[in-house]
């Protein structure tokens, strides 16, 4: 997921810079700080436990992996539960709204510097993850 994010970030930056992509035409989803932090934590915990994200779970299921079927069942069950409970937590769901909020706005840094920072962080994370994996074997 971090690699997809880095590739997309670099692609959007450079395609816009070269005049191929109009940044103003891109939809930036609004930020709701606390609900998204909560949702991100639940999503991340599920990803760590399952070892699959939704996209790779679909691919894994197509290759016949049984664990991917349970991951997808869990994901669909989670969506069902969230939908049923939504009316009870609608205040939290719409809280801490910040509109279309981007990292360069939050950090007050040039867009390119943020791109470089995120890419550097991603590469460091990949190197660290690879070393941990090698150490764990």
Partner 1 sequence: MNAGWPQHRTRLALALAALVTGTAAAFVGTPEPPLAADEVAAVELAGWLRERRPDLTVVDLRPPADGQERLPTARPLDASTPDGTVVVYADNGVDADTTAALRERLGSRRVLRLHGGMRAWNDDVLFPTLRGDASAGQRRAFEARAQLSRYFGGSPRRLDPGATPARGRSRRGC
Site track for partner 1 across 108-137, x = CB under 8 A: x-xxxx-xxxxxx-xx--xx----------
- DSSP 3-state of 32: strand
Calculated CA dihedral for residues 40, 42, 45, 50, nearest 10 degrees: -110
Assigned token pair, 104: 């360069």
**Is there binding between residue 80 and partner 1 (CB under 8 A)?**
no
Q: Near partner 1 by CB under 8 A, which window of 7-15, 36-44, 58-66, 67-75?
A: 7-15
Residue 127 C-beta: closest distance to partner 1, Å: 8
Site track for partner 1 across 19-38, x = CB under 8 A: x---x---x-xxxx------
Concatenated DSSP letters of 67-136:
HHHHHHHHHHHHHHHHHHHGGGGHHHHT-SB-SS--HHHHHT--HHHHHHHHHHHHHHHHHHHHHHHHHH
Site track for partner 1 across 38-77, x = CB under 8 A: ----------------------------------------
Residue 3 C-beta: closest distance to partner 1, Å: 8
């Amino acid at each position: 997921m971090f690699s997809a994010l880095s590739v997309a970030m670099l692609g959007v930056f450079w395609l816009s810079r070269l005049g191929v992509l109009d940044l103003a035409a891109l939809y930036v989803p609004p930020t709701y700080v606390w609900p998204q932090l909560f949702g991100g934590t639940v999503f991340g915990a599920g990803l760590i436990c399952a070892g699959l994200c939704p996209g790779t779970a679909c691919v894994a299921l197509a290759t016949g992996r049984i664990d991917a079927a349970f991951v997808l069942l869990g994901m669909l069950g989670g969506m069902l539960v969230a939908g049923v409970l939504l009316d009870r937590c609608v205040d939290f769901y719409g809280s801490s709204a910040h509109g279309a909020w981007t990292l360069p706005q939050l950090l007050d840094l040039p867009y390119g510097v943020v791109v470089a920072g995120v890419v550097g962080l991603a590469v460091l994370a990949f190197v660290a993850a690879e070393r941990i994996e090698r150490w764990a074997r």
